[in-house]
């Protein structure tokens, strides 16, 4: 049985306890490994290693730090299939979907390659008599990232490259459900030339999270996961004096106007609703067709496509969708589908009870399509995080906008239309952080930043892109005057630059 260990100061460690957790292959339900569960002792050891590595790493020039990122890019491109296979083995997503995850992670690595330009400061000469002012951004120190199961490579690589490029050292606490990707990320960085101790990996659950929050030497925490845990980490991290960005859950709507190309809209909903078994914080889980005629036509196109979804293990090259992450996730998703039926939704395609020959022990949920869902239903109010698409019929465009704006989540949304005026109005009025116009999953490219609104985020900064530079550095402003410009005599009034 493989034992997945922590990595502290560049070395694997089984930790100070024998606490272990099983790791499953979601396609078979079989235990494939065990992962060590860290406690305060392991977090403390990782922090000490990161603290020891910080002086030399932060003193390394941005250009040389960027060289590590350039090398990492080449290593990742060469080993993309290895990374994807590691993702699929413990998460269950298809190989092509996992390759897409690697590609989106690479965008952030490539952005970090330009860190020397992004850390340039501001300078003003002669702001006063013989006085100059410069502003610069300096690294925070030891920072930490707590990442979810659904993107075990991409989300850590949304954090780590920018944090390290800015001069920080890093503690990664990945999901204990699919932990091997985190250790592989460490190895890829090491192959790219990263010094030992700059990146450390601690596996574990709540005990490890609480130890990260409580450790006084950790200056900042970046988190992606559910809204309740995001709120918990944000409140307690801020109370402990840390800088925190905590990205939470979502309920993403796609509005379909009567003038939209419905074949295009149906294709978009299939990929956005059922890709990665719906286990994406940017998945479209609610289709909002405007008008019953639009809804009827859309449902007519969607129903046979959902029934025909090709579901299988990652080893099946024709699979469009794999299993969900765990037996508990399957039970929760199926219970939400049942609640929809009880509360009046019409089940057009039912994915409950799915079994695949040869993979009877896997965590399977088939594609599910619900029609005539209403805003008061549990299946609408809660984030499902599974392959369930709800159709909520809107009587008007204004009703659709109000519906989305009322929801507690504001992560992503989309509108499909040929009407430029409507699209422009939607982008302006909608109270959501990421908006797609004829784009179903509007995840920004690596040169922009990712972040929702409302209960989908806690903290002032989005993740990766320009926002990351501000999150992982702090501003220092230096005002200087040399002896030749100093006037004689004490100045008792508040200093001015006149």
Active-site residue, selected from the candidate residues 36, 113, 166, 281: 281
Phi and psi torsions of 111, nearest 5°: -65, -40
Instruction: Please report where in the chains the tokens 């230096």 appear, as a residue.
Output: 478
Helix, strand or coil for residue 489?
coil
Asked if residue 279 lies in contact with residue 150, where contact means CB atoms within 8 angstroms, the answer is yes
Rounded CA-CA distance 299/287 in Å is 10
Rounded CA-CA distance 156/105 in Å is 9
Most distant pair of Cα atoms in the chain: their distance: 90
Distance set, CA 128 to CA 121, 313, 451, 476, 498 (Å): 19, 68, 40, 19, 6
Closest C-alpha to 168, from 176, 160, 179:
160
Strand 409-410 relative to strand 388-391: parallel, antiparallel, unpaired?
A: unpaired
* Strand ordering across the sheet containing 473-481: 122-128, 131-139, 473-481
Distance set, CA 295 to CA 309, 371, 423 (Å): 21, 9, 19
Active site residue 281: yes
Rounded CA-CA distance 324/93 in Å is 8
- Hey, what are 290's tokens? 């405007």
Buried b (16+ CB within 10 A) or exposed e, 178-200: bbbbbbbbbebbbebebeebbbb
Rounded CA-CA distance 284/438 in Å is 13
**H or E element in which residue 180 lies:** helix 180-191
Phi and psi torsions of 140, nearest 5°: -80, -40
DSSP letters for 283-334: -EEEEEEBSHHHHHHHHHHHHHHHHT--B--TT-TT-SB---S-HHHHHHHH
Angle between helices 62-78 and 154-165 in degrees, nearest 10: 160
Tell me the catalytic residues. Answer: 281
């Amino acid at each position: 049985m493989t034992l997945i260990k922590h990595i502290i100061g560049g070395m694997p460690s089984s930790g100070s306890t024998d606490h272990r957790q099983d790791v499953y292959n979601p396609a078979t339900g079989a235990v494939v490994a065990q992962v060590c569960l860290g406690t305060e002792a392991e977090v403390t050891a990782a922090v000490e290693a990161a603290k020891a590595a910080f002086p030399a790493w932060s003193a390394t020039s941005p250009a040389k730090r960027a060289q590590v990122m350039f090398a990492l890019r080449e290593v990742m491109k060469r080993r993309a299939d290895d990374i994807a296979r590691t993702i699929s083995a413990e998460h269950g997503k298809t190989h092509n979907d996992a390759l897409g995850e690697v590609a989106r992670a690479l965008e952030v690595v490539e952005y970090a390659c330009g860190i020397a330009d992004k850390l340039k400061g501001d300078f003003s000469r002669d702001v006063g008599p013989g006085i100059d002012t410069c502003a610069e951004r300096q690294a925070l120190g030891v920072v930490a990232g707590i990442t979810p199961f659904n993107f075990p490579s991409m989300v850590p690589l949304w954090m780590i490259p920018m944090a390290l490029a800015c001069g920080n050292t890093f503690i990664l606490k990945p999901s204990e459900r699919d932990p091997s990707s985190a250790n592989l990320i460490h190895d890829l960085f090491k192959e790219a030339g990263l010094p030992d101790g700059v990146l450390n990996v601690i596996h574990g659950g709540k005990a490890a999270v609480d130890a990260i929050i409580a450790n006084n030497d950790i200056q900042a925490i970046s988190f992606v996961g559910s809204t309740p845990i995001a709120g918990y980490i944000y409140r307690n991290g801020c109370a402990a004096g840390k800088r925190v960005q905590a990205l939470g859950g979502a309920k993403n709507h796609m509005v379909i106007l009567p003038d939209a190309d419905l074949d295009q809209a149906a294709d978009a909903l299939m990929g956005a609703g059922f890709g990665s078994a719906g286990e994406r914080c940017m998945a479209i889980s609610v289709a909002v067709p405007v008008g019953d005629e639009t809804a009827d036509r859309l449902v007519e196109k969607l129903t046979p496509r959902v029934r025909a979804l090709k579901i299988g293990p990652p080893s099946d090259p024709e699979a469009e969708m794999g299993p969900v992450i765990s037996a508990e996730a399957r039970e929760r998703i199926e219970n939400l589908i049942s609640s929809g039926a009880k509360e009046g939704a019409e089940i057009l395609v039912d994915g409950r009870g799915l079994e695949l020959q040869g993979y009877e022990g896997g965590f399977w949920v088939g594609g599910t399509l619900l029609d005539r869902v209403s805003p008061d239903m549990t299946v609408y109010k809660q984030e499902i995080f599974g392959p369930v698409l709800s159709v909520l019929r809107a009587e008007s465009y204004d009703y659709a906008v109000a519906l989305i704006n009322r929801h507690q989540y504001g992560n992503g949304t989309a509108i499909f239309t040929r009407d430029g005026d409507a699209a422009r109005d939607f982008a302006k009025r909608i109270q959501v952080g990421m908006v797609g116009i004829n784009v179903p999953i509007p995840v920004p490219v690596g040169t922009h930043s990712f972040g929702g609104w409302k209960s989908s985020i806690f903290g002032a900064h989005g993740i990766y892109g320009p926002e990351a530079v501000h999150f992982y550095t702090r501003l220092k402003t230096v005002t200087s005057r040399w002896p030749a410009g100093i006037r004689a005599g004490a100045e008792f009034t508040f200093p001015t630059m006149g």
